[in-house]
Amino acid sequence: MSDDTNDFRLEQTGSAAAAAGPEWKPVTRASTYELVIDAVEEQIMAGTLGVGDPLPAERDLAMKLGVSRASVREALRVLESLGVVRSSGGSGRGAGTFIAAMPSAALTRFLRLHVALTNFSIDDVTETRIQLERSSAILAATRADKDSLAAINAQLAMMDTPGISLETFNDADTAFHVAIAQAAGNQLFSDLTGAIRTSLRKSIFSSFSRVDDQQALMAKLQSQHHGIMDAITAGRAEDAAALTEEHIRFAASRLPGLSDT
Amino acid sequence: MSDDTNDFRLEQTGSAAAAAGPEWKPVTRASTYELVIDAVEEQIMAGTLGVGDPLPAERDLAMKLGVSRASVREALRVLESLGVVRSSGGSGRGAGTFIAAMPSAALTRFLRLHVALTNFSIDDVTETRIQLERSSAILAATRADKDSLAAINAQLAMMDTPGISLETFNDADTAFHVAIAQAAGNQLFSDLTGAIRTSLRKSIFSSFSRVDDQQALMAKLQSQHHGIMDAITAGRAEDAAALTEEHIRFAASRLPGLSDT
């Protein structure tokens, strides 16, 4: 990761550094596993490794790169956690490590951890959610096809079912917002929306559990959901965005602990 | 990561699964290093581990959790790559592994890899950039203080300097957009903006290198930058947002390979 860190720092202090002369920083020796990651990343950036391609076996890769198998294994764990490779166990056909395309789960874990570490405040996360979901609502109202609308409606129907538990409601609520983002047809949007909503899921659930009249709040939220869906279905893009923002702000204000202020 | 993946899938298919009866999925045995990550994550979610806190030494942690030191090391590499822990080498005071707050570099590497793997199309990334930077511009115009404005201006001054190289211009350009996001006072926004802009940095640079009249394009982009800055300084929030969107769309249209369409 040292390369990234330097990139970022350079960009942020570029002009100041140029004005103040050479800048001295502690030197860091990159660990061996980082060099292995860099080697894999180079192949990906160059386009010689793409989704579905196999990596050489652990032993071969270690030999090719002149490093220990333990270093290769550490590097592969990191790439796995970033959703960049997946490993299948066993030794038959289909076994081994492959370049993968699984950003969603990785992004979710990343955001969940950093929200828990309060590196991002709940207010910042809520504000980001509002901006992304406003855009998703506008795009969904403009371009959602029948299949995407049906997927959103399925979650609405779920939440309309009388007598469902708070947990089921909360899950369908998350899925409702993710389905709108998916209807917008932008993969990065829907992954970010899904990851952000999912990173808040436990907080929202435990906060909801402490609300006095849960049924009344669920009914209110659900009527807002219907309003958003009606606007999207009718293609009223600006309405859909405004109702989405109102809905998220209302929920944050009513759920204790979900607002920093 | 198996836990995340399941969470996500459950939410997306919850209602369908309930209607169709029990759903069978391949069972997966979590690797030992994943169990170590889960153990650390639990402490973080519970609030018993916070930023700056040390983790037990590798050997102790392996004993406490009843796993091998290699598994602990693999787990720590992953947490390091997510920006959740940092390790300082050596054996003196300050050596060891600590809970850290370094989401920016991790997010940048994550996005850079997934953009390179075309898990996110350049158009999707550009669209997301536009939405985030529109919001950043509005917030910056509304609430930026003098220090934040000075930081944006420093990058403008850098790009105004006659005779600078394309590389220096490109770095200052990234820093300009990140500084606006930072002026918005939302850490998640500025990290996302920084990560997205940085993930495009190499593509923008190599695309720019192939442009015929680089000086003319740099001058045009820079005049747009000044327009954005004037709007932010004057507190004209909607103008700042509109000019930012226009600027990003213009750049994408003029830089070959930076638009999928």
For residue A45, the domain's CATH number is 1.10.10.10
Alpha carbons B87 and A29: distance in angstroms, whole number: 12
Confidence band, pLDDT 50/70/90 cuts, at residue A240: very high
Alpha carbons A109 and B45: distance in angstroms, whole number: 12
A130 to chain B: closest CA residue? B135
**Alpha-carbon distances of A64 from A67, A74, A112, A129, A252, rounded to whole Å:** 8, 16, 37, 45, 53
Whether A175 and A249 share a structural domain: yes
Give, in degrees to the nearest 5, the angle at Cα B15 between B14 and B19: 120
**Which residues on chain B are in Cβ contact (under 8 Å) with A175?**
11-12, 14-15
- Lowest-pLDDT range of A87-101, A147-161, B113-127: A87-101
- The whole-number pLDDT of residue B39 equals 92
**Which residues on chain B are in Cβ contact (under 8 Å) with A86?**
none
Question: Does residue B204 sit within a domain?
Answer: yes
Select from A4, A14, A81 the Cβ nearest to the Cβ of B105: A4
- What are the backbone dihedrals phi and psi of residue A71, each rounded to the nearest 5 degrees, phi first? -65, -40
Sign of the torsion angle spanned by Cα atoms A200, A197, B36, B65: positive
Tokens representing B161 are: 């300097």
Select from A75, A113, A188 the Cβ nearest to the Cβ of B124: A188
Tell me the mean pLDDT in the region A253-261. Answer: 68
Query: B8 and A109 in contact by Cβ < 8 A?
Result: no
- Greatest mean pLDDT among A68-82, A222-236, B162-176, B189-203 lies in A222-236
Which among A94, A99, A87 is positioned nearest to A43, based on CA atoms?
A99
Interface test with B, best of A82, A125, A153, A182 (most B CBs within 10 A): A82
- The whole-number pLDDT of residue B7 equals 37
- The whole-number pLDDT of residue B117 equals 81
pLDDT digits (tens, 9 = 90+) for B116-137: 787 777 888 888 889 889 989 9
Tell me the mean pLDDT in the region B195-205. Answer: 80
Select from A33, A109, A120 the Cβ nearest to the Cβ of B188: A120
Q: Which residues contact A147 (CB under 8 A, 6 or more apart)?
A: none
Total domains in the fold of chain B: 2
* pLDDT value at A198 more than 90: no
Whether B125 and B232 share a structural domain: yes
Boundary-marking domain end, from B73, B99, B125: B99
Question: Does residue A216 sit within a domain?
Answer: yes
Tell me the mean pLDDT in the region A155-178. Answer: 93
- The three-class DSSP label of residue B54 is strand
A195/A32: higher pLDDT? A32
Q: How many CB atoms lie within 10 A of CB A148?
A: 18
The CA distance from B11 to the nearest CA of chain A, in Å, is 5
Which among A128, A1, A175 is positioned nearest to B107, based on CA atoms?
A1
pLDDT digits (tens, 9 = 90+) for A122-140: 888 888 889 889 989 999 9
A158 to chain B: closest CA residue? B15
Find residue A87's DSSP bridge partners: A97
Query: A113 and B7 in contact by Cβ < 8 A?
Result: no
B55/A125: higher pLDDT? B55
Question: Does residue A71 sit within a domain?
Answer: yes
Tell me the mean pLDDT in the region A86-96. Answer: 71
Tokens representing A28 are: 């860091």
The CA distance from A234 to the nearest CA of chain B, in Å, is 23
Burial class (CB in 10 A: 0-12, 13-18, 19+), B80: buried
Question: Does residue A227 sit within a domain?
Answer: yes
- The whole-number pLDDT of residue A17 equals 45
The CA distance from A191 to the nearest CA of chain B, in Å, is 10
- Residues of chain B with pLDDT > 90, as a percent, come to 44
Question: Does residue B161 sit within a domain?
Answer: yes
Question: Does residue B66 sit within a domain?
Answer: yes
Whether A132 and A164 share a structural domain: yes
- Residues of chain A with pLDDT > 90, as a percent, come to 44
pLDDT digits (tens, 9 = 90+) for B63-84: 999 999 999 999 999 999 888 9
Q: Mean pLDDT score of chain A, rounded to an integer?
A: 83
pTM of the prediction?
0.73
Whether A95 and A128 share a structural domain: no
pLDDT digits (tens, 9 = 90+) for B20-29: 667 665 555 6
Confidence band, pLDDT 50/70/90 cuts, at residue B195: confident
A12 to chain B: closest CA residue? B175
Confidence band, pLDDT 50/70/90 cuts, at residue A62: very high
- The whole-number pLDDT of residue A236 equals 97
- The whole-number pLDDT of residue B94 equals 64
Which among B16, B14, B79, B125 is positioned nearest to A113, based on CA atoms?
B79
Tell me the mean pLDDT in the region B131-157. Answer: 94
pLDDT digits (tens, 9 = 90+) for B5-51: 333 333 334 444 455 667 665 555 678 898 999 999 888 877 889 89
Alpha carbons A124 and B101: distance in angstroms, whole number: 16
Whether A72 and A140 share a structural domain: no
* pLDDT value at B57 more than 60: yes
Question: Does residue B260 sit within a domain?
Answer: no
- The whole-number pLDDT of residue B93 equals 61
Query: B117 and A51 in contact by Cβ < 8 A?
Result: yes
Q: Mean pLDDT score of chain B, rounded to an integer?
A: 84
Whether A94 and A208 share a structural domain: no
Interface test with B, best of A126, A127, A131, A188 (most B CBs within 10 A): A188
Alpha carbons B191 and B175: distance in angstroms, whole number: 12
Whether B91 and B25 share a structural domain: yes
Tokens 């391949």 belong to residue: B26
Query: B1 and A105 in contact by Cβ < 8 A?
Result: yes
Tokens 């509005």 belong to residue: B138
Crossing angle of helices B214-233 and B201-209, in 10° steps, is: 140
Query: A116 and B175 in contact by Cβ < 8 A?
Result: no
Question: Does residue B158 sit within a domain?
Answer: yes
Interface test with B, best of A131, A169, A244 (most B CBs within 10 A): A131
Query: B178 and A83 in contact by Cβ < 8 A?
Result: no
* pLDDT value at B143 more than 80: yes
Query: A15 and B154 in contact by Cβ < 8 A?
Result: yes
Select from B10, B116, B186 the Cβ nearest to the Cβ of A45: B116
Whether A67 and A122 share a structural domain: no
Whether A226 and A143 share a structural domain: yes
Boundary-marking domain end, from A99, A124, A149: A99
Tell me the mean pLDDT in the region A237-243. Answer: 97
Whether B83 and B52 share a structural domain: yes
Residue B201 DSSP symbol: H
Range of the domain at B218: 105-254
- What are the backbone dihedrals phi and psi of residue A212, each rounded to the nearest 5 degrees, phi first? -65, -60
**Which residues on chain B are in Cβ contact (under 8 Å) with A8?**
104-105, 108, 194, 198
pLDDT digits (tens, 9 = 90+) for B228-243: 999 999 999 999 999 9
The CA distance from A5 to the nearest CA of chain B, in Å, is 5
Find residue B87's DSSP bridge partners: B97
Query: B4 and A124 in contact by Cβ < 8 A?
Result: no
Whether B242 and B141 share a structural domain: yes
Which among B56, B128, B23, B46 is positioned nearest to A107, based on CA atoms?
B128
* pLDDT value at A60 more than 90: yes
Which among A249, A235, A78 is positioned nearest to B106, based on CA atoms?
A78
**Which residues on chain B are in Cβ contact (under 8 Å) with A83?**
1, 114
The CA distance from A74 to the nearest CA of chain B, in Å, is 5
The CA distance from B248 to the nearest CA of chain A, in Å, is 16
What ipTM does this complex have? 0.71
pLDDT digits (tens, 9 = 90+) for A8-57: 333 334 444 455 567 665 555 678 898 999 999 888 877 888 899 999 99
- What are the backbone dihedrals phi and psi of residue B101, each rounded to the nearest 5 degrees, phi first? -130, 75
**Which residues on chain B are in Cβ contact (under 8 Å) with A132?**
131-132
Whether A136 and A219 share a structural domain: yes
Boundary-marking domain end, from B41, B67, B99: B99
Query: A106 and B107 in contact by Cβ < 8 A?
Result: no
Query: B103 and A120 in contact by Cβ < 8 A?
Result: yes
The CA distance from A228 to the nearest CA of chain B, in Å, is 19
